[in-house]
């Protein structure tokens, strides 16, 4: 626990202004990530995963309503940096990103090799030759034949384009890579091959990952830790071992129970209802409406309880928690 985390996200919030009100896409979330570890951000569509990634990389749309909190990278609070400093010192240099649907977002008129080389030229001041030589190495890392350096995106399959997008994120040798649904649109075997690539890179380079996905089974291919997001909030952070065998939050339990399995007798179950609107989230626990374990307490918003070192945002854990943040208003169950 005492080892300094690579990334510490505290109270991070990102709201969007719209004609009908503020969308509370990321609502005061906390989590930490150690060096050479991978945290998976799991959650249903629209729960705020991509928004959180954008908040971390400060890739903000114009209609931002609120953007606040603390993001510490290697002990430095990067929220304090101005946009120019963030752009030259952090984005691509220390944290890079493979955006959602990256394979369809490559520049159609640039050769794959040139696209991969570009971040190295811009952010590491490499010459074109140096950068291309490095791009070639990256191609080998991610399993793209090196003669594809000269090809245009439309000449590549979806799986190959996705590998190119990963190579682009890798070339600056960042400490942290944010992968937003890196395999969701791909075929099973391509998916498995790309997960193999990501694992190998992690083992060989010591990089860390934030992997965003709604695919629970695939997420276990990379996860050291799992953070579950529901309606803009993180409701559980847990180690992969405990999460995949015994998730704590009722939502996590329902999510795990919804996974179809190849073998065994357990039928997958579904979660009735749908998540609340992020314009006007309910005052109590946001999952209460769909929760099979709901009780009176749940009409009030639960704090995040610390249970065996794992944050869980659910009243069921009030008694066994060693601490809670923010401390519960009436002091009950808060030992910190």
Partner 1 sequence: MSTDLKNTPTPSRTDEDILLSVEDLHVWFELKKWGFSHVGWVRAVDKVNFQLKRGEAIAIVGESGCGKSSLMKTLLLLNRPHKGRVIFEGRDISNLKGRALKQFRAQVGFVQQDPYGALPPFMPVHRILDEPLVINGIKNKKEREERIRNAMQEVALTPVDDFLNKYPHMLSGGQQQRVVIARAMILEPKLLVADEPVSMLDASVRVEILRLLRKLQEEHNLSVMYITHDLSTVRYFSERIFVMYAGKLVEQTHIEELLDNPLHPYTNALLTGTSVPDAANAKHIKHVPPGEPPSLVNPPPGCRFHPRCEHVIAGKCDVEEPPDLEPLPGHLVNCWLYADGQTRYPGLEARG
Ligand X SMILES: Nc1ncnc2c1ncn2[C@@H]1O[C@H](COP(=O)(O)OP(=O)(O)OP(=O)(O)O)[C@@H](O)[C@H]1O
The residue within the footprint of ligand X, chosen from 9, 38, 47, 321 (CB under 6 A), is: 47
Per CB under 6 A, 76 contacts ligand X = no
Tell me which of 37, 49, 202, 249 binds ligand X, using CB under 6 A. 49
Which residues in 202-214 are b (16+ Cβ under 10 Å) and which e?
A: beeeebbbbbbbb
Phi, psi of 190 (to 5 degrees): -65, -45
Residue 294 binding result from ligand X, Mg ion, partner 1, none, given CB thresholds of 5 to 8 Å by partner type: none
CB of 42 to partner 1, least distance (A): 10
Q: Are 170 and 102 in contact (CB under 8 A)?
A: no
Question: Which of 63, 68 has the CB closer to ligand X?
Answer: 63
46 lines the binding site for ligand X (CB under 6 A): yes
CA 23 – CA 238 distance, rounded (Å): 27
Binding site residues, partner 1, CB under 8 A: 38, 44-45, 143, 157-160, 187-193, 195-196, 199-200, 214-224, 239-241, 243-245, 254-256, 258-263, 267-272, 274
- For the record, the structure tokens of 206 come out as 């010591």
Question: What's the min distance (Å) between Cβ of 15 and ligand X?
Answer: 9
H/E stretch holding 129 reads helix 128-142
Q: What are phi and psi of 161, to 5 degrees?
A: -65, -35
The residues facing 315 across adjacent strands are: none
State the minimum distance, in angstroms, from the CB of residue 243 to partner 1: 8
CA atoms of 50 and 133, how far apart (whole Å): 32
Residues that bind Mg ion (CB under 5 A): 49-50, 100
Residues that bind ligand X (CB under 6 A): 16, 18, 23, 25, 43, 45-51, 61, 63, 100, 214, 278
């Amino acid at each position: 626990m005492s080892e300094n985390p690579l990334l510490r996200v505290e109270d991070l919030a990102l709201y969007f202004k719209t004609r009908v009100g503020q969308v509370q896409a990321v609502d005061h979330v906390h989590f930490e990530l150690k060096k050479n570890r991978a945290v998976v951000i799991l959650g249903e569509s629209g729960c705020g995963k991509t928004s959180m990634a954008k908040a971390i990389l400060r890739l903000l749309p114009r209609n931002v309503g609120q953007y606040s909190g603390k993001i510490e990278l290697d002990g430095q609070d990067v929220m304090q940096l101005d946009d120019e400093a963030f752009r030259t010192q952090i984005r691509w240099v220390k944290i890079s990103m493979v955006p959602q649907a990256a394979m369809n977002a490559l520049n159609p008129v640039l050769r794959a090799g040139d696209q991969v080389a570009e971040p190295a030229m811009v952010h590491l001041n490499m010459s074109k030759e140096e950068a291309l030589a490095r791009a070639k190495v990256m191609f080998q890392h991610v399993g793209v034949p090196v003669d594809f350096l000269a090809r245009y995106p439309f000449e590549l399959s979806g799986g190959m384009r996705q590998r190119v997008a990963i190579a682009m994120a890798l070339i600056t040798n960042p400490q942290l890579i944010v992968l937003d649904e890196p395999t969701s649109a791909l075929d099973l075997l391509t998916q498995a091959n790309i997960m193999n690539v990501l694992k190998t890179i992690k083992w060989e380079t010591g990089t860390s990952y934030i992997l965003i996905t709604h695919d629970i089974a695939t997420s276990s291919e990379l996860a050291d830790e799992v953070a579950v997001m529901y309606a803009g909030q993180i409701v559980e952070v847990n180690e992969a071992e405990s999460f995949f065998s015994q998730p704590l939050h009722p939502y996590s339990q329902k999510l795990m129970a919804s996974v179809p399995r190849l073998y065994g007798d357990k039928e997958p179950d579904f979660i009735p209802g749908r998540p609340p609107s992020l314009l006007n989230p309910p005052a109590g626990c946001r999952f209460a409406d769909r929760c099979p374990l709901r009780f009176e307490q749940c009409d009030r918003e639960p704090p995040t309880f610390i249970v065996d070192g794992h944050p869980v945002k659910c009243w069921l854990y009030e008694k066994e928690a060693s601490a809670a943040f923010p401390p519960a208003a009436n002091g009950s169950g808060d030992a910190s």
